[in-house]
Chains A and B, each alone.
Chain A
């Protein structure tokens, strides 16, 4: 019996963001935007969804008088990503996939 993939993570942009954040300690919004090749608006919406789910921490501050958004994956986000990858591997191992 396959477990459902986490709907929060099973979205292209949100999964891309979490995959980037799992590899780093923290990243600026501009870095995530550049690497995911997304628009600022869409990325902002998806980060908010990840934040609401408790998967990422978002810190807003000012750097040289410009707003700066720093994102960091939370322990809950790491667990969720871990489970997501394990479930994904189960799907891929199954003969039906």
Chain B
């Protein structure tokens, strides 16, 4: 726009408003790095856990899901870099960021629940001079049963679906909507499968929810960047 401005007609004003709103909407900066990171980590951990259960691999004390904790470090760097690079923040982006933050807190809250509640429950049983027993109907042998939450993976799958669906619907980004729907389908399936296959569903959910949409976003971002430089 030039230094000296000529008077605008009403039609020109309206056209300018429309053009600027479109320009603000079309600004594209999502490069999918976080989605690729988490899709890869959850996908790998889920499939590894499935194979470990299936083939009875002994990994000692090392739990592959520690990788999800380690992935918080690169995520922190990604978040800082994204914040530095971001020149505009839309209302929708602010809302979606809040949804993902709440999701992150909820995942850790669920992990806390799954790890703490069983032993606390056993403590309550012990305080009442009771314990959970499991009986082998064939031999009649009864032994102590460690309290657990059944089909833990199903709970994770519901949680995975929430921010993915919200982002997909809000941004009208079909790969994430499809990812969210797949996640709900996996959730229903996981209610009927053993723990071994629950892990497989968990890994596949990571791939469909985040890795594939993330790669599509990266591709779009690269194309948009290329178009800017042409």
- A: residues with CB less than 8 A from B are 5, 10-13, 15-16, 19-20, 22-28, 30-31, 35-39, 41-42, 63-64, 85, 88, 91-92, 97
Contact = CB atoms under 8 A, between A and B. Distances in A.
Given A25-B91, A25-B94, A12 B16 contact: yes
A92 B10 contact: yes
Contact of A23 (B11, B13, B21, B87): B21
A12 B16 CA distance: 8
A79 B162 CA distance: 35
Chain A binding surface, main DSSP class: helix
A27 B16 CA distance: 18
- What 8 pairs across the A-B complex have the smallest Cβ distances? A19-B20, A23-B24, A31-B87, A28-B87, A27-B88, A38-B1, A91-B10, A31-B88
Contacts of B11: 92, 97
Contacts of B23: 20, 35
Chain B binding surface, main DSSP class: helix
Query: Interface residues of B toward A: which range?
Result: 20 to 34
Contacts of A24: 24, 88-91
Contact of A36 (B1, B21, B88): B1
